[in-house]
Amino acid sequence: MTTTSNPSRKPTHRIYRVVGEGKNASWTPIGAAWPNQDGMGFSITCDAIPLQGRLVMRVITERTMTGAVA
């Protein structure tokens, strides 16, 4: 299996650890993702791997760049 990402490009997705539901959920950014050149998957880097909660991958938007979660 070959992954062909370009780490010099900016990531297209942000990875979050999410604990809780709805308005009480806590979203912590823990990584980023880039689409592979073949379009069949993503290359992912994580600063942490959570033991609890869930992982959510969201497209990076102007809103997420200013600190709010999309």
One digit per residue, the tens of pLDDT, for the chain of length 70 reads: 444 545 557 899 999 999 999 999 999 999 999 999 999 999 999 999 999 999 999 999 987 666 665 4
pLDDT at 6: 53
**20: phi > 0 → left, psi -120 to 50 → alpha, else beta; which?**
left
CA 3 to chain centroid: 17
Q: Strand order of the sheet with strand 26-35?
A: 42-46, 26-35, 13-19, 54-59
pLDDT at 63: 74
Domain count, the chain: 1
Tokens standing for 65?
């760049």
Tokens standing for 33?
């993702």
Structural domain containing residue 20: 13-62
* 8 within domain boundaries: no
pLDDT at 65: 61
At residue 65, what are phi and psi to the nearest 5 degrees?
Answer: -70, -25
pLDDT at 69: 58
* 6 within domain boundaries: no
